[in-house]
Amino acid sequence: MGRDERPPKNLIIRNVRKDELEKLVPLYVEAYRGLEEYAERGHDNVVDYLEWLYYTCPEGFFAAEVNGEIVGFLACNPRWRGPNDHPTCEIHEIVVSPKWQRRGIGRRLMETALALGERRGCPTATLWVGVGNERARKWYEKFGFEVVGSWGRWLRMRKALRSHEPVKSGHDE
């Protein structure tokens, strides 16, 4: 089956419920196949991580659902504080099932997160991506994220959310 960049007509983006966290574990594991060095390992660790994401900001934990099946999720926090106490909308995690990639689902999840950050008054959105995860880095760059620093095996990326407020370049986030 060919892949279409347009999201499925029956795609719903909604908040994740606490009782759905366990259902996200296989999706997380599947999406990190081949990128395990950047993932939580072991069922219990993945559950703990997903619970941390949920309790940190349930408002920013979104599910992408098609025909009642969760095919992706994104966790962000528009109340995050970076270095020097700079406010940012931190994108903690984005996962789309490999079977559903390249159909616009990740784009819709990211647009939802960025819109939340803008509604909450965040001047930037930030995230970490694995140095070796070139495909994800290039995808983030399509959204306007730029590499602003690194730490070990991670790259720090940032994007201005308000065009009237310039973002300083440098390695302060």
Summarize pLDDT for 85-99 with one digit per residue, the tens: 788 999 999 999 999
Q: What is the pLDDT of residue 173?
A: 43
Residue 31: CB partners within 8 Å, gap ≥ 6? 95, 96, 97, 98
Amino acid in the structure at residue 47: V
What CATH number does the domain located at 11-160 have? 3.40.630.30
Q: What is the pLDDT of residue 3?
A: 52
Low-confidence ranges of the chain (pLDDT < 50): 1-2, 163-173
Indicate the helix (H) or strand (E) that contains 77. Answer: strand 69-81
Q: What is the pLDDT of residue 172?
A: 43
Residue 72: CB partners within 8 Å, gap ≥ 6? 27, 63, 64, 94, 95, 96, 97, 100, 105, 106, 109
Q: Retrieve residue 11's tokens.
A: 């795609």
DSSP string, 30-54: HHTTT-GGGS--SHHHHHHHHHHHH
Nearest residue to 64 via CA among 27, 108, 102, 118: 108
Report the predicted TM-score, pTM, of the whole model to 2 decimal places. Answer: 0.88
List 89's β-bridge partners, or say none.
125
Residue with tokens 């060095």: 37
Q: What is the pLDDT of residue 149?
A: 92
